[in-house]
Structure 1
Amino acid sequence: MERISKRALIGVLLLLAVVLGYYLWTIRAATPSPLTPEEQGWLAAKGEIVIAGPLDPPFAYLDEKGEYVGFTLDLLDALEMVLGVEFRFSPMGRRYAIPALDQGVVDAVLGEVPNPGSGQTHSLPYLSSSVALFVSGDDFLELDDLEGETVAVVRSGRAYEFLSERGEVVLLQVADVEQGLKELQSGGVRAFVGDENAGLYTLHHLGLEEIKIVGEPLERVNYSFAVRKDDPTLLRALDYGLAALEEMGLRQQIQRRWLGLPVERGSEASVSPVTMVLAGVVLFLGSLVAFLWSRSLRREVAQKRRELSEAQDKYKKLLDSANDAILTISPADGSLLEVNHRVETLTGYGKDELLTTGLEKLLSLKDRRRAMEGLQAALLTGFGHLHDLTLLRKDGANISVEMRANVVAYDGRRVIQCILQDVTERKEMRRELLERTEDLLAINAIAATVGRFVDLEEILSEVLTKVLELMKMEGGIIFLIREEDGRLAPVVQKGFWATEEAVKMARQVAEQGETLMVSDLASDPQLVGMTMRRGEWGSLASVPLKSKDKVQGVMNIYGRSIHRFDPGDRELIEAIGSQIGVAVENATLFQRLKRTVGELSAVKQFNESVLQNMSDGLLVAD
């Protein structure tokens, strides 16, 4: 019985709603039809509608409490009441709001209706205004009188487009209506052209009684919600909500409160109290029917939300346990929406600090623009990969990272999820590998040089030049041990002359058979007991030239500045010293062989000369 009564009640309510709706349609045919149960269900599932718009008093601004107030906020609150869905205001200039709408970051954008051909569709107007001409004092001008004069205009909006198309005046672009009117008051411009409603509000707010509007409106302007063309359900809901506010007189009340202006209805018929009451009844009945119809849907939505909440908890746990640094970034402004624990470790910042900053502030200046361009490209293609980015840690250290970006859904909107990998160690290993490769190439070049059987002094001169280039030092000298007395003698010198101290040091290295490397000649403890100190030269490396553990000589190389030697430098210069030592030994053996051959050749020539000059015959028998 109870179920039958409910069905009968619903039937009666539906019938009454049809009758009342037909009555209202006959007197107000422009009102959109009520939302269908499917559209009501879509709104319930949507949960929140994000509306972008500029901060421009009296439409939207921050009050003393730091809260957004104004015409726009009251309008959204009224739409919440009618449509039963939450509206959230996102302050954003139209320059950034339209791309955010196209990318799905926001659902709709408030503002002037643009010219036909734009990439969006627009709702019914929620406000009508005009482009007006403001002058100061007793001036009574028309726009044609301002040819060649300076006129202030807000840098975006229909007023700016209108004047730019005419091209008859000098435009002074200002940030907002208040700045434009103050320029007019101070005499900086001859006139101000802007929105009539905003201008009148600002004049009243600032008490600028000497400024007035003259002439007829230059152009009519309607304000509406811009919506993506692929979102017809939202457009239908907004049209229905705006029409309902108009029927109930709420939009007019909001306009009077913030603009203090009479309502312009044009040729529309006035709304009688009976019509307003009937409209309220229809809205009530429609809401009741929609509630009964979508109750099961709401339960299902609640269940889905619980499941989604559980899935989000699992996702956050997996995110925090990941080894890679993962960030979720808003494509509208580059702000960080979510970070895992690895990001905190990598950057040195706490989570609260990271969520109040943007990706740009974490990157070096040279990488910021490239990173933001990469994110925009990823938003279009779905993914992106950037190499060689420099991350700035909180302690001032720099980290080399790679970034992989993917487009994901986050709270019902498209955002970018980035994975950062620390490649500092890998980059350092690559650098060391390249250096070692260069070292090997240098050793091979030196080996090829010393392997040639040419003049030894020429070989040593060429080798010393290559060593100085490789070690990035400026002076050098090579000593060889003389066979006749075992003393060190300078053979080749470049940028440095053999001094008594240099010979003494080379003799010490030759006797000990160990390489000596001094990074700073002014303070190195290896020089204790020696008189050599930093003057013209800042660093030194002295290496014995060995062949089969036998010292053939010593090579000293000098740098004018401090040179921080590492173990790799020691290995390299000792390998070169061994190559030179072998070359010196081979050259010495070659010279000995050459002398022996010469001596044997001389003996042979002497014997032949003796035989030819003998007067008697000589018979040799076995």
Structure 2
Amino acid sequence: MKKIRMRLVVLFSLLIIGFLAITGCSSNTSNNEDSFSKIKEKGYIVMGLDDTFAPMGFKDEKGEIVGFDVDLAKEVFKRIGLEVRFQPIDWTMKESELKAGNIDLIWNGYSINDERKEKVAFSKPYLENKQIIVTLSNSDIITKNDLKDKNVAAQNGSSAVDAMNKEPTIVSSFKGGEPVVFDTNNEALMDLEAGRVDAFVGDEVLARYYIKQRGYDKYKVIEENFGKEEYGIGMRKGDKELVKQVDKALDDMKQDGTYEEIFNKWFK
């Protein structure tokens, strides 16, 4: 009986190890294979986004997802011959959602940087941006050095946090020695307006859109910033054909004026 039990234990252990190996391999394969033919076959593509990131992708007063990136994506995939479905995600989990196959691309003010290049395949850059510092209009903060002993807010998992961390001397001078992170940029900006934090660091396109909605007299954008960057569309490493198709559609839109029309709708 002891021998039989031992054999069963060994057999069961081998089955578990084999199952884990198979699931691990399938995950790697799905991330490295070109899935464009499968996407074309099902007829739609799933775009992951933070639905609070105005004006790139956000819910309007009717609860519909709208924005600059949303309009671009609709036109891009119309040209490719696919329906695009918008999937709100936890922005801190964006690359994990992509790798797991829950979404097919990340497109929502997604800044290109070296760390992200290791995880995703990027399209060509399609919009310039920078990480600006916003305070209330009556603040005495004029330079980055003035952020010493101040509460500085940003969105968790954002490129704003990455940009600040490139200047560790500045960050270590913050109150608490690190940024105060929030789930969304809107929450961070609301805490700035309420005076619970002293400054906000985030994407210029979002911050200036927010300021426009809330009133120019309430806020001040200081001259210094945490660096320029470019937005791109993130896809799985193996999706070379999808990257090619998206790049071509964007190039065509810039040549025929469609990109400029969408840009002017949101930013002029």
Q: TM-score range by the shorter chain?
A: 0.7 to 0.9
Residue 83 of structure 1, CA deviation: 1.9
Pick one of 206, 218, 223 that aligns with 2:214.
206
Question: How far apart, CA to CA, are the structure 2 residues paired with 1:253 and 1:217?
Answer: 29
Pick one of 103, 109, 116 that aligns with 1:106.
103
* Residues 552-577 of structure 1: CA deviation (Å, up to 9, x unaligned): xxxxxxxxxxxxxxxxxxxxxxxxxx
CA contact (8 A) 2:155 2:185 kept: yes
* Aligned positions of 1:203-352 closer than 5 A: 203-258=211-266, 260-261=267-268
Tell me if 1:65 matches 2:66: no
Compared with structure 1, are the counterparts of its residues 133 and 63 closer, same or farther at alpha carbon in structure 2 (3 Å cutoff)? Answer: closer
SS for the counterpart of 1:90 is strand
Give the counterpart letter for 1:118 in structure 2. E
Partner residue in 2 for 1:81: 78
Partner residue in 1 for 2:155: 154
SS for the counterpart of 1:96 is helix
CA contact (8 A) 1:120 1:227 kept: yes
Residue 42 of structure 1, CA deviation: 7.9
Question: How far apart, CA to CA, are the structure 2 residues paired with 1:248 and 1:154?
Answer: 36
* Aligned positions of 1:165-564 closer than 5 A: 165=166, 166=168, 167=171, 168-170=173-175, 171-258=179-266, 260-261=267-268
Compared with structure 1, are the counterparts of its residues 216 and 245 closer, same or farther at alpha carbon in structure 2 (3 Å cutoff)? Answer: farther
SS for the counterpart of 1:148 is coil
* Residues 380-426 of structure 1: CA deviation (Å, up to 9, x unaligned): xxxxxxxxxxxxxxxxxxxxxxxxxxxxxxxxxxxxxxxxxxxxxxx
Residue 72 of structure 1, CA deviation: 2.3
Q: Which has the higher contact order (CA 8 A, sep 6+)?
A: 2
Partner residue in 2 for 1:50: 46
Give the counterpart letter for 2:161 in structure 1. Y
Residue 89 of structure 1, CA deviation: 1.3
Compared with structure 1, are the counterparts of its residues 94 and 185 closer, same or farther at alpha carbon in structure 2 (3 Å cutoff)? Answer: closer
Larger radius of gyration: 1
SS for the counterpart of 1:240 is helix
Residue 208 of structure 1, CA deviation: 4.6
* Residues 42-72 of structure 1: CA deviation (Å, up to 9, x unaligned): 8754521211111122222223433222222
The percent of aligned pairs where both chains have the same amino acid is 26
In structure 1, list runs of 5 or more residues that go unmatched: 1-39, 262-622
Compared with structure 1, are the counterparts of its residues 249 and 217 closer, same or farther at alpha carbon in structure 2 (3 Å cutoff)? Answer: farther
Residue 239 of structure 1, CA deviation: 0.9
* Aligned positions of 1:1-40 closer than 5 A: none
Partner residue in 2 for 1:144: 145
Give the counterpart letter for 2:59 in structure 1. L
CA contact (8 A) 2:55 2:205 kept: no
Partner residue in 1 for 2:30: none
CA contact (8 A) 2:144 2:224 kept: no
CA contact (8 A) 1:163 1:169 kept: no
SS for the counterpart of 2:48 is strand
